[in-house]
Structure 1
Amino acid sequence: MRRENTKSNIDFKSIFDSLPDLYLLLDRDFNIVGVSDAYLQATMVSRKQILGKNVFDAFPDNPNDPKATGAKNLYASLLRVLKNKSADTMAIQKYDIQRPADRGGGFEERYWSPINTPVLGADQEVEYIIHRVEDVTEFVHLKKNGSVQLKLMEELRTKAGEMEIEIYQRAQEIQEANKQLEEVNKNLARLDQIKTQFFANVSHELRTPLMLILGPLEMLLAEKKLPSFVQNTLRRIQNNAQILLKHVNDLLNISKLDAGKMILHYANIELVKLIQQTIALFEAQIPERKLTFSMDLPHELQAQIDPDKIQHVLINILSNAIKFTPKNAKVWIRLEQINPEICKLQIADNGPGIPPDLCETIFERFFQVEEPTTRTVGGTGLGLSIAKDFVELHGGSILASNAQNGGAIFTIELPLKAPQNVKVYSSYSQPSLGEKEISTSLAEFRNKVNPIKEAAEEDYYNRPLILVVEDNQEMNHFICKILNTFYRTESAFDGREGLQKSLALHPDLIVSDIMMPHMSGVEMVHAIREHPLLLKTPIIILTAKADDELTARMLEEGAQDYVIKPFSAKEFKARVANLILVKKAEDELDQFVYHASHDLKAPLPAMEHLISWIEEDLGEMLSEQSKKYLLLLRQRASRMSKLLDGLLKYAQSGYVFDKVRTIHTDRLITDIIKKLNPPQTVTFQLEDTLPVLNTCELPLREVFTALLDNSIRHHHRKDGHIIIGTKEKDRFYEFFVADDGPGIEKKYQDRIFQLFQTLQPRDKLETSGVGLSIAKKIVEFQGGKISVESEKNKGSVFRFLWPKDKEIGDAC
């Protein structure tokens, strides 16, 4: 009678042991739990010797080979399998095998081609790893010896089977590519961490003076004796400060989200009541915009959510709807329970809607549908991004679309239950957000009605703009045709017209010929780089001549790439796309600088003027306490303005554009000292070693100004002495600024070059904490380094490397 094979009577162990190829079975801790007979034979060990041992104890590296990396590479591959839950093919490895004593002992040179494959359990986690190898020692020896004898090649083909000659090179390339990819990922993670920390630092530095502005304002507004027009003026100041606060809060939320520090506090909430409370808080804003809310809500709906975060989502989406809808517009809110686990919330308006191709893009950070130069409402472009992050933290989703009759629809799907093993508070009166949060969110368009820009019918005007400067009309038309699929294009037919259109349009990229009438491409690039707003605009040069000297000159003048005619359209588009992507990455910081210098700073002049009006109009009506509050308010506004000026200067400091000229450094330093106007008791000594060099004056002036200003401000002595000198060091000059001030403790010496870092309280020493940061950024941009040597109460010596002579007339 034929016995049926079942899972219970199949001897899988015997099958595995008898496999004809070389296999090890490892557990999650890399212990050997199975081995094929073929593997035992190839490695000259017995099953009893290695079974149960860790693979690296059973097969250590050859201790006599200092270059052995087999164990290290195998460990890295096994870790990748655990992390990625996918097979990992290794390059050919040199992994020597220890011979038994009866075979002479010692290690025998071996080369292997390994692949490690995961075995997933029911929970989709890695339970085992199958380690399969092929012995390719003869193949490697043959390759090393360079033998081409036909007989040996035939023997190799027979033993290797279907293994191709390229396997060695390809496997090596895979390993090298993995190393490069790991390095790139490390760098990206480091840059992302720096950006997140930068946002957090900026937010913290701006919130402190903001609270010192809003605090005195509340005290002033609490004085009932103030005339109504004064209270109205103070409220306008408060409104501008709230605009600043919202932008700063958004930046702080982003930094917490990026750092993974945003924590949800779940509570049992009646979701319908939360929505109704939020809408009620908006009532104060509705009369100004003449908006109408229409709600379709169930009688009640219980949910386990973080009420603060969900109300923040509601505020951001409703604020967005109110911003972009005209007067007499409507906003619809609909809530329904899809199933016992999920609810769906929809918020719709009858505003201009969203361009269809931007329905996903609007959730990206800093993105705004309107162009920054023509936008009708303010903001940092972070509200919808934060809303999306908060919803996804709950395990939900948010989508944007357009209604059939126009207007935008935001659809949120949200789990009604908190994840398992998460603490849920049983009672929660109401979210901590309230009228102040709503007021802050809507402050930027209170008491004014902005015209609404109609949405574009297509995405053409949202594409990057490329200016094509080419005097040959056929070639110009051809280039535009190549690019029109993905970009907007504008044509210019000589260098002069190209310069004019560059200044007028601020394109995302410029493509230019060299030989053109009126103004050549060389002259145009030079003229473009003299305008700060075009300093970072990428330029591709088209040339019909393979002229290395001219190409090098163009790259030195400020072009990023060049293409020789005739060129491949595919290659040309790839070069364009690469530069556009690089510029897009740089624009994230540019957008932040724009908002920091525009949106964050815009309310400050208004506050300054309004304070002056109060002082002039009221005269002696104000109490002494009120006058003190006004003075404090003015000081804090001034402090905020200086912080923002420093931030902007820091962001732009790496892009100081200047021409190389002959600079007498002693004269330059003397002029800087004169403009700093130090106390007469502070003396300066300029050493005779200060050189005359060919360099750019503006960046060098910025560095010396920052260092000298730092030494003067922090000296604290009436008879201070500062020495400035230099010495040659390879291809650099090493300048130094030494003082006999209080010195800097070693633990603070790295911090002083960080943004907003000061060692003295800012109320005691008026400084923004950006001077040394700017100096460091400029020096590093020039290819040098900056450092400090100091001991407490023994003065400080700042040193920086500056490149030696450049060619007169060159750009830098």
Structure 2
Amino acid sequence: MPDFRTLFESVPGLYLVLMPDFTIVAVSDAYLRATMTKREEILGRGIFDVFPDNPDDPSATGVRNLKASLESVLQNRVADTMGVQKYDIRRPESEGGGFEEKYWSPINSPIFGENEEIAYIIHRAEDVTEFVRLKQLGIEQHKLTEELQARTQQMEAEIFLRAQELQDVNRQLRAANEELAKARDEAHTAQEQIASILESVTEAFIGLDREWRITYVNQQTAKLNGKQPEDFIGKIYWEVWPWSVGTRLEREYRRAVSEQMAVHFEELYEPLNIWLEISAYPTKDGLGIYFRDISDRKAAEKQREHLLFQEQQHTTRLQKLAEATLAINSALSIEEVLQVITEQARSLIDAHQSVTSVTIDQNWSQAINSVSLSDKYAAWRDYDEKTDGSGIYACVCHMNRPMRMTQAQLEAHSRWRGFGDAADKHPPMRGWLAAPLTGRDGRNIGLLQLSDKYEGEFTEEDEAIVVQLAQMASVAIENARLYEAEQNARTQAEAANRVKDEFLAVLSHELRSPLNAILGWAQMLRSRSFDQKTTFRALDTIERNAKLQTQLIDDLLDISRIIQGKLSLNVSQVDLVSPIEAAIETMRLAAEAKSINVKFSILDSELQVNKNPKSQIPNPKFLVAGDRNRLQQVIWNLLSNAIKFTSSGGIVEIKLEAIGSNTQIQVKDTGVGIDADFLPHVFDYFRQADSKITRSFGGLGLGLAIVRNLVELHGGTVSAESLGVGLGATFIVQLPLIKDESISKDEFNSSLIPDFSSLPLEGVRILVVDDEADTREFLTFALEEYGAETIVAASAAEALKALELYNPDVLLSDIGMPEEDGYSLIRKVRSLSLERGGSIKAVALTAYAREEDQERAISAGFQMHVAKPVEPAELVAAVSSLTVGS
């Protein structure tokens, strides 16, 4: 995982991260350099302790303004952009101490935590000191220049007025030439001096009489117009410059004359495309006009305005970037992140097109697109063509690097040609700017691309912003994926908990219901006497409910084995006709009780249905490799379900047929059917279509889950079909057939419990060990009924004593006993000598019924493992099998 603190500290911008109490918790290296501070000196301190106001500046407002901005962020929960601030910075003592005058452009943005409260404030600043100083210097120089120009022009006007007066005097002297010769000479000399002064003036000058006739032009005017001074004298101003008629020049000149006031203005001199600063001064004889070329000053002002515009644009972009950061961080889904980043990118860069694409596990065929188009491309608003990551995109996605090209560069690129063939599928492009999206592991997850900028081509600054946006989007997308994964996991966990709770409620109900009948009848049989018919009915009810509980427990044990992967099969060749007929026979009474017609048919004209469920004749068309008991359990579960969910008078059909290399068992009923929404979950663990307290049918919802797992263990498949509620259901099992059909009849003999007509245990001495008195009493009674002689022990210690005293033939022991269990007992027995009973036949009788429990019992020293509850005949058969030939 990247070191995000190091990445943050190395970013080029000036950043501080503050706690809501304004304590500094992180700072970028650029900020430290700009403020002449060190990280270890400022982390953990308040920002105003580190950066106080300049005590030598009584008008300092930096602390007050910054504090107000930060408090605004906390109160309004949105970013705050401050104007340019004067905030002096303390110099280190090594550099002379004191404070250095500084100007800053700050932005303060909130960062929200998981509880939607502000966790941090990001303080970003930009040092604009040089810009402010240049601006101040330009203003001061401009004012000084204007004052000097005004003074010069006033002096020149006075000189000109005096020149006019001298010219009048000169004319008077010429009229009285004889009398005023000396005065004429002086006037001539003065005239030459004035002309010399006017010629030495750097501005262009034109003198006009009251008829707008040109009386004088200096060399600057002539040079400016590319003529000689004499080319202008005596001509009417409007005839020499006809283009000025009706313009601002004419209006201002006439206003100066009519109002007898000086006018000053600036105007573009179109013939030469230069800017002039014009001053017109009225005189008693006409008008004096000064022209000064200010093109350089205008160019500087335009450059300054351009720089100011760029600064404002930069500030606006920073503000939009901060807004984009907030919007991206608040998005919780990938779609929201893509929509925000696509819109923000187009807005920040001022482009007509923006598209963001994200892949799903590097699969571009499943990419998620977000498109933002301006009104220029309104016809393409429904555009959603998938990016496939090839062509020009590969340069960005496969190499994880940004690209910026003009339209000419784009069309000339070798990777663009294929895209150009499908141009009609995409909005027309004009230039291209793209940046990759990368995951935490560095792998590409998509790209952000823009085209058709409003003005000009994409710039290096545009590329930097898009790269930054792509990085923020990448982090947000990864976070959104983690959030969605966490939400999905939470939903699944909640669903699992809900299913578990429902299952436990059902389990409690299903275990208690049989107990109610068992305990009820048992108490009634103990407290009163009934006739034989009622007594048999009571005993039948107790037996039936006890078997139901046994079946529930067996289902739980099967599910436990399945979940742990410990369910094993005793595989042999099995004729499927036999377990199907056995299951039908087992469920016959239940079907007859509801008047349900159970039909079994084999879809093969060469075969006949075997009506005798005890037949041992194999059917070679339907041989599979499997566990006969487990396969019978599969069919029994499906048949039991069909009967349970079919109303009285309904029909249940079982069909068996060979399909290619598989055999297919179909169990179809006319029962309640399966809702389409529940059908995909019908084989899930602990799932029932109706788990409410008002459900109509019992059971734990485990039967079909067991069916699925048993069928899959046999290499087969099982599926369910239903047209809907009330329309019945069909379950289809397919199992692979055995290719080799050669088989011996003996392999299909059923392990039927013998029907004892005599006393098979007569003369057999059995040591019964169990800590439960009721169990000891039942076992003793059952064994003695079949001729056995019993000795009882309530613990392992008692059993060891009885073993030596009575020398029994068989040891029948419980496993789970207090103080010392059955495993310990059998190990001690096996450690005894033959004379003391060390080789006695031993049967483990226990409620621990898992296959691993059976294996453990055999490994410990028992010859057999019998699971509780056990029927007397089964118990007698187990003991008899150990005593045969003894």
TM-score (norm 1): 0.30
Bigger CA radius of gyration: 2
